[in-house]
Amino acid sequence: MLILLVMILTFFGYILFYRLYGRYIGRKIFGLTDTRIPPSVAQEDGVDYVPTRKEIIFGHHFTSIAGTGPIVGPAIAIIWGWIPAVLWVFLGSAIIGAVHDFSALIISMRNEGKSISEITAKYINRRTRILFFIVVFLALWIIIAIFGLVIAIIFSMFPTSVLPVWLQIPIAVYLGHLIYKKGKHVIGWSVLAVVAMYITMIIGSYFPIDMPELAGIPATGIWTIILFIYAYIASVLPVTTLLQPRDFINAYQLLIAMTLLSLGVLFATFIGGMELVAPAVQLNPPEAPPVWPFLFITIACGAISGFHALVASGTSAKQVRSESDSLFIGYGSMLVEGALATLVIIAVAAGIGMGYTSEGQTLTGINAWSSHYSSWTAAAGLGSKISAFVIGAANMIATLGIPHKIAVVVMGVFVASFAGTTLDTATRIQRYVISELGSDLRVGHFRNRHTATSFAILSAAILAFASGADGKGALSLWPLFGAVNQTLAALALIIATLYLRNMGGWKWIITGVPAVFMSVMTLWASVMNQTQFGVGNNLLLQIINAAIVLIVAWIIVEGIIKFFCGEKISISLG
């Protein structure tokens, strides 16, 4: 009963935060008004700048920011106990993360849809913009390289998910054709597209696809190459061709998956006898780093993530059709992601106890959880995190009468689809970043979307295959990603604080306090990482991490100086 109560209270809390805190921030802090012409209208080009209904852009924004983030983070942070994980997800997403996402979105909309790194030049100075670009490029570089591997791992673990994931693409393209070319009804045809997608899941459960080794390249390497080609194509196409319709389908998939998970919690509690098997609090698990500050670095997307600011100021700001839509998209989507992260915590804290196979033996209860989370090392692998959620979720959904095999496919496709969305969105954003930097440095070739996208993909491919044909090269930099990602969140909050400081009064406190908290946590974690990298004699990580710490410290100092000494910048009503 306790786990059911946790779900109900957190969901109800998210609704209250949106209706009270979110609307207050929109009206009183940022002064949302539809008198401003958004960049999607002012700069409409049919490729990147396209005014879009809020329901559709919500689907794009959510599926882009979610990916595997709200799954991977909570699935490993549970090792410190379910109470710390739930508290950070709930409070972090409602008070910090949603404010961060919404701020980045609306500030970008009021600055011609430019990225948060480009906006840095306006609110701090041109020098810090270059430093910000370096951090953003590094984060996206790692994301693109690692997410190709993540999806490859999902395909290897759950081969029944391969067919439905790839068939989702032609379904989405045809849906886009019907809506934008033929003028068909959005909701009705989208529902039919989702039905078709779930039919492919049933088919996929009977026709698993295992990628063989080709020309000495293992399956993960082959899938990574294929996914990079896909990411290139998807990121240069007009958003109405694939990105929007596919993400709209995935938004429905999200609602269905969360409904199944919520009902699964209810049925598993009363019918399946599901109980919490994870410890409430476990501050010193074997081999794990200290809960402070690493809880706030490990759980990123479920609470706050710098990548969200890149999506908000990258693709979403170019498609939102009015300021009044921005609160639902920016603030609302983060709360939904917090709700998803809460369900993930329940799946790995209780669902996994309903049955988990380890070394050919099926374990239940506390034995199942303890086997998977025996140590930090045992639970730290990408495959380990994903499997803990998929198996735990499938166990809960199976209590609804859905065959366990089908439930595994549904959750496997759910994870892989969201990861794919993050991959091509990150590629598109990296293209924007490269183009903006090319424009600033007057390198004309990088203003071309094909050239910029090629550079983004090739640079990620070099990282991915730096370790060999398996495509796992990005794992060498993965230990940096958590701190780098949360560093971006801190920096975005600093920009938002300077923006609100410029508006006058005490509005800046709304983002200023979270900015200080995230700056302290990320720098603290980065310094501890530097010590750990030194103990492990990892010179590469030491050099890159030290450079990041210096860059971040520099930007923070510049931001503080601007806060106390800078001149106000006029904000036009446009």
What's the average model confidence in pLDDT over 118-143?
87
Q: What pLDDT does residue 360 have?
A: 65
36 to 108, 120, 122: CA distances (angstroms): 13, 21, 19
6 to 41, 84, 152, 230, 473: CA distances (angstroms): 43, 13, 34, 40, 39
What residues form DSSP beta bridges with 362? 357
Confidence band for 121, pLDDT divided at 50, 70 and 90? confident
Q: What pLDDT does residue 383 have?
A: 67
Confidence band for 378, pLDDT divided at 50, 70 and 90? low
What's the average model confidence in pLDDT over 187-196?
88
Dihedral angle sign, alpha carbons of residues 317, 320, 322, 325: negative
Please indicate whether residue 373 or residue 227 has the higher confidence score (pLDDT): 227
Please indicate whether residue 383 or residue 492 has the higher confidence score (pLDDT): 492
* Percentage of the residues of the chain whose pLDDT score is greater than 70: 96
Contacts (Cβ under 8 Å, ≥6 apart) of 367: none
One DSSP character per residue, 218-242 reads -HHHHHHHHHHHHHHHHHHS-TTTT
Task: Indicate if the pLDDT at residue 573 is higher than 70.
Answer: no
Q: What pLDDT does residue 189 have?
A: 87
User: CB count, 10 Å around CB of 103?
Assistant: 29
What's the average model confidence in pLDDT over 315-326?
94
Model confidence over 227-236: pLDDT tens digits? 999 999 998 9
Task: Indicate if the pLDDT at residue 51 is higher than 80.
Answer: yes
Task: Indicate if the pLDDT at residue 459 is higher than 90.
Answer: yes
Of the segments 96-110, 162-176, 182-196, 539-553, which one has the largest average pLDDT value? 96-110
Q: What pTM was estimated for this model as a whole?
A: 0.91
Confidence band for 566, pLDDT divided at 50, 70 and 90? low
Question: Is residue 293 reached through a cis peptide bond, with omega within 30 degrees of 0 on the bond before it?
Answer: yes
Q: What pLDDT does residue 382 have?
A: 63
Q: What pLDDT does residue 153 have?
A: 85
Residue with tokens 């009468």: 401
Q: What pLDDT does residue 480 have?
A: 85
Q: What pLDDT does residue 192 have?
A: 92
Q: What pLDDT does residue 574 have?
A: 42
Helices 69-77 and 323-349 cross at an angle (nearest 10°) of: 40
Query: N- to C-terminal Cα distance for the chain?
Result: 53
